[in-house]
Amino acid sequence: MGLGGFEDPPEKILECAKTKYMSDLDFKTKYTLLVNQTLELMRKLQNRIDLPANAFEEIGKSILEDDEVNCKISSSNDNR
């Protein structure tokens, strides 16, 4: 809950998190990839390029999937 019982808008929360974590190279790299994927989708929309129905849902998915794979690999290495 924010100041005076009001919730902070999502944009403010994201901007605060971005500012806090931007010094982390891994976060900065993933954030940059996410921004680039979003900009590419926006360019395709502006140029009226046909997109799959789930185009918006796919933004950032590859970034998260790569991270999940890395977590599984590191946890399996920890068990050795």
pLDDT per residue of the chain (80 residues) written in tens, 0 to 9? 555 676 888 888 888 888 999 999 998 998 899 999 999 999 999 898 888 888 888 888 888 887 654 555 455 555 54
Q: CA distances (Å), 32 to each of 1, 35, 54, in order?
A: 29, 5, 21
> Domain of 44?
3-78
C-alpha span between 32 and 26 (Å, rounded): 10
> Residue 4 has what pLDDT?
63
* Total tally of structural domains belonging to the chain: 1
Question: For the range 28-31, what are the long-range contacts, defined as Cβ-Cβ under 8 Å and sequence gap of 24 or more?
Answer: 30/63, 30/67
